Amino acid sequence: MTKKLLEGIKVIDWTVYQFGPVGGAMLADMGADVIKIEAPAGDPGRTLGVGRGRSALPIGHTAYFENGNRNKRGIVLDLTKPESREVMYKLVERSDVFMQNFRKGVAERLGMGYEVLKKHNPTLIYASGSAFGPNGPMADLPGYDTVGQAYSGMMFQTVTEGNAPRQVGGGIADQMGGTQLFMGILGALVARSIHGIGQKVDVSHLGGMVWLQGTILNNGLLGKSWTSPGERTNPGSPMSNSYLCKDGRWLQFVFTQPDRYWPGFCRALGLETLIEDPRFATNAARTEHSRDLVLMFDKVFATKTADEWAPILIKEDLIYAPVMRLNELDTDEQILSNQYIVEMEHPTLGRVKETGHPIQYSETPADIGVRPAPHLGEHTQEVLSELGYKHDQIEALHKKGVF
């Protein structure tokens, strides 16, 4: 029988949209019992993107919501009511982790702050996600994915014509924040197993984006350069660049030891005469003549398709990859072989594909197909029963509008 890494760990996931739910989904993939708490109106992520084309998903579900809430059980609690807060406190007493990603002060106003919950469970791991971090002049401000990209400098890593900032799509700050939330919780679980302590874990959009840019940021901090890779037609290194092939596909090259690979690169392109050319003999010289080399390379790459280039480049052991489009990934052998995209059985849609868990464990593998994202309040009565509530008590709470 396959073991689950987090089997037996109970998680309360009181998060919305993408940032928090992604972290909860990663915990659930690893076998944790993750209970998603929603207000009566539901997580706003349930309807995000509905107006952008037709969806085969049931009402109250979107692709956005499904991926962030798979493998969870879902209950509804109106935390403005004292009875709902009592239910939450009972859950906290029996849980290992509590997650929330609301604006600073919201949890405290509803009696869900760390100082309150740790009285109910001293070894509780309280994981909080915010826009700008728990401290500083902007700590109280709200924010979403794009503000993290903006404030961290990420949007100037992808500038286009006119030097206008440009966001990276797909909620990259949300996804990175959720991944760091997952990592922070794992670290706190390890600390608890060693030291027997609970603690508060804080991550943010801003912190995640700063960390994601660590290489280029540290380069600047250490007095070298703050610059991004630059224009394709005049890159810092013409060998580490993208080139368009005959079939309209792009190839991306990267060489951290360009002098070592220069002869093989020239041989692959049929430009052996350039190997000993003094204008291009060193990386510094090639950078000085970057525009000229890019023009030469563009003409050569345009003579063959990406597939025709593949065996030639591999023969010279060059470091490159095709630049893939998102709609190509779900049929790509490399992606599928590593289960970065997997198939699962959905009760409404049948056999569907989703992004897989990004970390592979040989003995405790993740499983994304345990259950789809819950319907709003789908497991409320089930969870209340586990807390010791009797049928008549559950009915009474329901009549009061607690759930």
CATH code assigned at 298:
3.30.1540.10
Number of domains the chain is built from: 2
Q: Where is the domain boundary, 292, 327, 362?
A: 327
Residue 234 lies in a domain: no
229 within some domain: no
Indicate if 43 and 192 belong to the same structural domain.
yes
Taking only the tens of pLDDT, the chain with its 403 residues reads: 578 899 999 999 999 999 999 999 999 999 999 999 999 999 999 988 655 554 556 677 788 898 899 999 999 999 999 999 999 999 999 999 999 999 999 999 999 999 999 999 999 999 999 999 999 999 999 999 999 999 998 888 876 656 778 888 889 999 999 999 999 999 999 999 999 999 999 999 999 999 999 888 888 888 876 666 668 898 889 999 999 999 999 999 999 999 999 999 999 999 999 999 999 999 999 999 999 999 999 999 999 999 999 999 999 999 999 999 999 999 999 999 999 999 888 887 788 888 999 999 989 999 887 788 999 999 999 999 999 999 999 999 999 888 8
Q: Is 2 within the bounds of a domain?
A: no
Q: Are 197 and 294 found together in one domain?
A: no
Give CA torsion, residues 141, 145, 147, 151, to 10 deg: 110
180 plus 161 within the same structural domain: yes
357's tokens: 């868990």
Instruction: Give the domain-ending residue among 298, 327, 356.
Output: 327
**In the numeric block, which tokens belong to residue 380?**
């409320």
Q: Please list the alpha-helical segments (H only) found in 154-254.
A: 172-195, 205-212, 214-221
| Confidence at residue 301, expressed as pLDDT on a 0 to 100 scale | 98
Question: Would residue 220 count as lying in a domain?
Answer: no
Identity of residue 25: A
Range of the domain at 301: 242-327
Judgement on whether residues 181 and 314 belong to the same structural domain of the protein: no
**Among candidate residues 278, 318, 354, the one with its CA nearest the CA of residue 71:** 354
| Whole-structure pTM value | 0.90
CA 204 – CA 145 distance, rounded (Å): 10
Task: Please name the residue that has the structure tokens 């659930």.
Answer: 28
55 and 159 share one domain: yes
Residue type for 332, please?
D
Q: For the chain, give me the number of helices (H) and strands (E)?
A: 16, 11
Q: Which of 289, 307, 327 is the last residue of a domain?
A: 327
My answer on whether 158 and 267 are in the same domain is no
Task: Give the CATH number, domain containing residue 203.
Answer: 3.40.50.10540
Same domain for 322 and 370: no
**Contact between 123 and 196 (Cβ < 8 Å):** yes
